Structure 1
Amino acid sequence: MTDLEEREIREYVTSQTPPESEDGVTLVQKVGCRRVAGRSHDLYDVWMSSGQRWWVITDMTNLYSQDDFKSLDQVFTYHLGLNTILHEQFNVQPDEEQIEHVSKPWRRYAGAVDAMAAAQEAEDFQAVGIRCREALLALVRENMNAEWVRVHEETPQVANFKAWFGIFANSLTANSKPRAYLKALAVNTWDLTVWLQHYVDASELDAEVVLGATQQLLRTFTLLRVRHDQPVEQRCPNCDSYQVVEESSELIERDAQFGTLLHDECVSCGWKSEQKFTQWPLEQLKRLIDYKTGAWSPPKKSMEELEVKDSDN
């Protein structure tokens, strides 16, 4: 466990502790790392000044009282179950990346999921295929005029989903493997939606297959869009790890200027870059002074906002 890793766990537990309790972290011990279904979970034993002890498990990070869970196996099993329930509960809710890149198609996909929840007969399951097909066409309409799209030949019609996704795949990546995968996934997913739409003996399992394929295509497209927009990730010069984060010091004064010392730090091996001084803007300093002296207060809501809220109630 690196110093940075320990500090992050300390800060997390402190953030979950009521300030009035004055209960602080005294010891953090890493007691294991387990990988289940392709996801790694780090496990920590955290001691508090009051004598309270917590289990902290990552991805997604949560803490559990050792008074309630005596053994590590018991709490890890509970953590996995909780994650599974939450994943299922929010299965059709888009994350921030999906909201940014596929918001309209995702809303139509959510409509397909809602239709599936009420489906009972074959024609209901066929309707799920129609809604999934509409989500795919919405994906084309939302991106066909984007700056990153490169159309080298005649522009296809909007309804020509396969042609458009061939263009999207060529525009998003120069690597042949993910490009070929996205093209094949798009073609197969489109064919599945059309098949379900016209399949008179459609069943619940058939609709589930199409829903899963549509979700996978939306997710894969989102990942490639994010990868296309992001710069090359920084790697640690010592161990080649991608786990490099930026750390900052407390506010300091240097040459009559106020600012912080910034440096990059590797979570994996503990490597640190040289520190660089970054001056704070005057407006940022003023906000800090106002906050420390009690002069700062949150912005008040306008009368128009209050009237809208009252009318909603």
Structure 2
Amino acid sequence: MAEMTQLEERQIRDYVDPRRHQNPRTKSPSYVGRRRVAHENYDLYDVWMSSGKRWWVITNVTNLYPQDDFKGLNQAFTYHLGLNAVLREQFAVQPDEGQVETVGKPWRRYAGAVEALATAEEAEDFQAVGIRCRESLLALVRDNIDASWVRVQGEKPQVDNAKAWFAIFANSLSANSKPRAYFKSLGERTWDLTVWLQHYVDASEIDAEIVLGATREVLRTFALLQVDYSQPMEQRCPKCDSYQVVKESSEVIEREGAFGTFLHDECASCGWRSEQSFDEWPRERLQRLIDYKTGAWTPPRKSMGELEVRATDEAPS
């Protein structure tokens, strides 16, 4: 059985018991192993509490399960896979935060296409899914033709020339030839699919599903290219070259009359740590912490996509 790194152990402790620094209750987390299902990795942990209670903790998306209810790890893991499948289906048309920012309007039109398929029965209903997907792709074009990052050589294409705009977006967003060529080809082929479905008098549910999947992939890939374009290059560990570098912070402390935390980078793969730096908190941030500690702070309402799902409402004890 592989040993847990200090960072990994700390992250599991903080997940199971977020108030650990006030009242330590997590006694002994241990790494059980990793399983891979349908191209997804899941890390599994056995966590003992000081009260004697035990939990299974399973990642991706991280969740915990009481061992009083789930006697064996296989039982907990099977439930975890089923829960994830239900949630993915339930929120299939809900974009994440990054997608909301970059493809919000096109995604709403895509969600309309998904809803249209749910009630479709006849060929013309499936054709209507193609129309809605086509509108989603056009919305993507309209929302971005005047963006600051767009580089057009020569005369601008017409707004409804989506295939030409996909090529422009690909060239503007990516300096790497493979992703650039992939998005250009994906956009062009998906546009052709939506037009085909719109006019296909023998359209079926499977045809509509194919077009929906292709449209979703265009929106998703565009959002990823936007993130890659706008964010700095991801940090890598100077010791082992791993991408698993995370920012860690201390508890809030006072230093020369100022309050803040010590920050450092830490590699989850090899344990490398950077030098610490002091992050001084502004008065407003410190006041929010005080309000939180005293119970005066009210958390903002979260969207369904942000809610943390647990197998039980019972808090660890």
Length-normalised TM-score, structure 2? 0.88
Secondary structure of the residue aligned to 1:236 is coil
Mapping of residues 51-70 of structure 1, within 5 Å: 51-70=52-71
One-letter amino acid matched to 2:129: V
> Alignment RMSD, CA only?
2.0
How many pairs does the alignment contain?
A: 294
Q: 1:14 aligns with which of 12, 17, 40?
A: 17
CA–CA distance in 2 between the matches of 1:264 and 1:160? 46
Q: SS at 1:44's partner residue? A: strand
Q: 3-state SS of the aligned residue for 1:182?
A: helix
Partner Cα distance (1:285, 1:67) in 2: 40
| C-alpha distance in structure 1 between counterparts of 2:93 and 2:151, whole Å | 31
Which consecutive residues of structure 1, in runs of 5 or more, have no partner in the other structure? 300-313
Q: 1:25 to 1:194 in 2, by over 3 A?
A: same
What percentage of aligned pairs have identical amino acids? 70
8 Å contact 1:236–1:244 — kept in the other structure? Answer: yes
> Displacement, 1:250?
2.2
1:199 equivalent in alignment to 2:221 = no
Query: 1:240 is paired with a residue of what secondary structure?
Result: coil
Q: How does 1:1-313 map to 2 (within 5 A)?
A: 1-15=4-18, 24-285=25-286, 288=289, 294=294, 297-298=296-297
Q: Deviations over 1:265-292 (max 9, x none)?
A: 1111111011122333344445555666
Q: 1:255 to 1:16 in 2, by over 3 A?
A: closer
What SS is found at the alignment partner of 1:31?
Answer: strand
Structure 2 distance, partners of 1:93, 1:207, is: 19
SS of residue paired to 2:47: strand
What SS does structure 1 have at the residue aligned with 2:45?
A: strand
Cα pair distance change 1:190/1:74, threshold 3 Å: same
Distance of 1:130 and 1:236 partners within structure 2: 47
CA contact (8 A) 2:291 2:297 kept: no
Which is higher, the Rg of structure 1 or of structure 2? 1
Unaligned stretches of 5+ residues in structure 2: 299-317
Distance in 1 (CA, whole Å) between partners of 2:69 and 2:278 is 46
Cα offset, 1:113, TM superposition: 0.7
- Relative to 1, partners in 2 of residues 1:202 and 1:273: Cα closer, same or farther, differing over 3 Å? same
CA distance in 2, matches of 1:79, 1:290: 35
